[in-house]
Structure 1
C-alpha cells in the first residue's frame, strides 16, 4: 500500500506537471436559472444569492428559494440590497397607499424577524427609505426622505430632499450633507465607517466618508463630481468620479491613503466600481470603444476584462457586475450567442484548491525533514 508521502508527492507533482496554456480560463461560468422573475444581485461567502423574486425580497441557498414577504403590498417592487457577514439582510420594497401614493419602505431582517426602518421625514410624501449597506452589528445605511421640500415640481406631488441616514438601536439618524440639499449613504464597514455621496454648497455631488460624527469630502477628479459606492473592513473605498465638468461619463476609482486613483478603464468612457471584498478585489463595469458594457476586475494594480478570462470557445460577453465575495466569486450579467442572464463566475482553481495544495506541500516538507532526521541518527 502506498505511503501518505508517496500519495502526496504524486498529487503535487501531478498538479505542477500538468501543462498550462495561455488560453486556460481564469473563471468557470455557471448560468443561474432559478426562475423567470428572479433577480439576484448579491452573493455571500457561502454562495447564497440575494435579491428579489417576483418583486419580493428573497434569497436562494442550497437549491431552495426563500421569499421574505417583508411588506404587506400585494404587488411589491424591490429586493435585498445589502447583507452582512453575520446574516443581516437590508431591503426595500415599493408599495402603494390608499391615496395611490407610491413610496419605498426600508427593512432589516435577521434571525427570522423583520424590522421596519421608518423614515427621516413625517409627511406622507416624504416616506421613501432606501437601504444600501449593513454591517455585522446590524447597522443599516441608505437614504430617506426628509421634511425639506424642494422647489418646483407638481404642487399636488411635492418633492422632498433625501438625506443619508444611519439606523442603529431602533433609531434613524440624519447624517446631513456637505452644504447642499441631498445625500445618500452607500456603504458601511465593520468599524462603522460610512461612505456615500452628498451635495456641496455648489450643488455638486461629492463622495464622502462619515466617521467620528463628521462628514468629510473625499474630493473628485477634474470634473468635480464623485460618489463613493462601497468600503471594506480595511478602509479601502470605491466609487466613480467625472474627469470633465458637466460630463455624465464617470470613471471608477479606488480611494486609499488619502488618494483617489482611477482604475484605468478609460477617462473618455464611463465606468463604475460596484463592490470590493476583504482581499481588496474590486469589480466594476465600463463602456468599451464599441459602446458595449463590459465587466472587469481590478486587483493588485491590474485591470482584467472578465470575458477575456473565460473559455474563448464559449463566446461569453460579461456586462454588468453586481457582487464579489471573499472567495473571489463574482455575480454578473452575461450573454452568449444571443442568450443573456445572470451568471456566477468562480475562480479556477478556487482558493480552497490552492489552500489544499499548499497544505500538501507543507506536509511534504515535514516528511522530508523527519526522514533526514532519522537518517542523521542512524
Structure 2
C-alpha cells in the first residue's frame, strides 16, 4: 500500500473513532465549584432563582413555616412569608435589584431598586408577584387579578422601563399572559392563552407579541428562558401522557427547534447555550453542554456525602442556583463554572493525534531496523 493510501485510511479511521467516542464519553472531571449558604434549620426547598451577579433567592419551608430566603455576599436571610418585605426576587449585572415588598394594604408587589432609587411596580387592583430585570433596567413581570366574588384569578404580563413606565404586553387572544424571561436586548419570552384556550409560547420584541409555538399536536408549551444570543428553551406538555412522559424539553435557535436528549423539563439556559433541567425519570438534575447530557452532581466538586442535587436556575454567566441534602439537613448552594466541558470532537482529535504519533513512531522504528 502506498503511503498516501495509508494516510487516507488513517484519516478515515480517525474520523470513525471520533464519532464512536462522541457517543460513549464518560462524565468529565468536576467543572463546578460550590458555594454554600446554610439555612438556620432543616428546610424543604421548593423554589429558587439566581441573579446576574450570582445572588440566590427563593422559597423554603423551615420547621413547617413558609419562608422567603435571599443571599447577599456570603450571608443568607430567611424571613417568614407572612412578614416578608423587600425580599430579593432578581437582579441585573449593574447591581439593580428586583424586590418583592408588602404594600400599605397588605398586598404584595414588586419594586425595582437602582442605587438609592426605589420604583414601585404596583398596579392598582393587581398583585405583581415576580419577574426579571435586564442589564438596562427593563423589568418584565407578571401581575394577577383576583375576582372578589368568584375568587378566580388571571395573570397579565407587563414591561417596565424608565422612559415609558409600565406597558401591558397583551395576549395571544386569550384571557391571560405571563412572563418567563427577558434578555439584555429587551426580548421577552413567556406564555399566553390563545383564543382557542391553548397555552402557547410567545416572543415579545419591539412592542409586538408573536406566537412561536412549534406545531406539535395536542401539546401545550411552557417557555423557560432566553439568553443574550436569542436561544430559547421551552417545555412541551402532553396532557394525556403518563409521568414522566408528559414533559419534554426543547431548544430553539434561529427559529428552528430540537429536543434535548434525556431531559424531560428544561429550567434555564446560559450565555453559552448550556441548558439545565430534570432527567426523563424526574429524579435527577442534569445539564446539556455541547450537545451532550451529564448528571450535574457528577460535575460538582465536593459532592461526597450529599444527595438530591436540585437545580433552581442558571444565569447568563453559567452560575447555577441549586440545593442539596444529606441525612440531616438541606442547604442552598451556588455552582460556579471552573472550566468548560471538552466537545466530543476534541476527544476525537486527541485520540487521532495520539494514533498519528504512534503511527509516526512505528515508521521511524521500521527505518532504524
Q: Structures share a fold, TM > 0.5?
A: yes
Report the alpha carbon displacement of residue 203 of structure 1 after superposing the two structures with TM: 1.2
Match of 1:27 in 2: 32
Is 1:89 the counterpart of 2:84? The answer is no
2:198 to 199, 204, 213: 204
- CA distance 1:37–1:165, shift in 2 (3 Å): farther
- CA distance 1:204–1:140, shift in 2 (3 Å): same
Deviations 1:296-345 (A, max 9, x none): 11122111121233469814334431233455332212223454222233
Contact 2:230–2:254 (CA<8 Å) still a contact in 1? no
Aligned to 1:341, what secondary structure does the other structure show? Answer: strand
Q: How many residues align?
A: 303
Is 1:241 the counterpart of 2:242? The answer is no
Report the alpha carbon displacement of residue 227 of structure 1 after superposing the two structures with TM: 1.6
Task: Measure the CA separation in 2 of the matches of 1:240 and 1:94.
Answer: 32
* Structure 2 counterparts to residues 244-323 of structure 1, below 5 A: 245=240, 249-265=246-262, 271-286=264-279, 288=281, 293-310=283-300, 314-323=304-313
Task: Measure the CA separation in 2 of the matches of 1:108 and 1:312.
Answer: 36
Match of 1:145 in 2: 144
Task: Measure the CA separation in 1 of the matches of 2:230 and 2:27.
Answer: 35
- CA distance 1:30–1:76, shift in 2 (3 Å): closer
Contact 1:178–1:201 (CA<8 Å) still a contact in 2? yes
Which 4+ residue blocks in structure 1 deviate beyond 6 angstroms? 37-40
> Higher mean Cα deviation, 274-283 or 25-34?
25-34
- CA distance 1:313–1:195, shift in 2 (3 Å): closer
Report the alpha carbon displacement of residue 295 of structure 1 after superposing the two structures with TM: 1.1
- What is the Cα-based RMSD across aligned positions, in Å? 3.5
* Structure 2 counterparts to residues 5-24 of structure 1, below 5 A: 24=29
State TM-score, norm by structure 1. 0.68
Task: Measure the CA separation in 2 of the matches of 1:171 and 1:115.
Answer: 10
Task: Measure the CA separation in 2 of the matches of 1:23 and 1:230.
Answer: 26
Aligned to 2:169, what secondary structure does the other structure show? Answer: strand
Which consecutive residues of structure 1, in runs of 5 or more, have no partner in the other structure? Answer: 1-20, 352-378
Task: Measure the CA separation in 2 of the matches of 1:229 and 1:36.
Answer: 31
Aligned to 2:130, what secondary structure does the other structure show? Answer: strand
Match of 2:218 in 1: 223
Is 1:195 the counterpart of 2:189? The answer is yes
Structure with greater contact order relative to length (CA < 8 Å, sep ≥ 6): 2
Which consecutive residues of structure 2, in runs of 5 or more, have no partner in the other structure? Answer: 1-25, 61-65, 341-369
Task: Measure the CA separation in 1 of the matches of 2:87 and 2:70.
Answer: 7
Is 1:114 the counterpart of 2:118? The answer is yes
Task: Measure the CA separation in 2 of the matches of 1:300 and 1:22.
Answer: 13
- CA distance 1:74–1:131, shift in 2 (3 Å): closer
Deviations 1:140-193 (A, max 9, x none): 11211359x6xxxx72x5434321111122621111111110110121112111
State TM-score, norm by structure 2. 0.70
Report the alpha carbon displacement of residue 133 of structure 1 after superposing the two structures with TM: 1.3
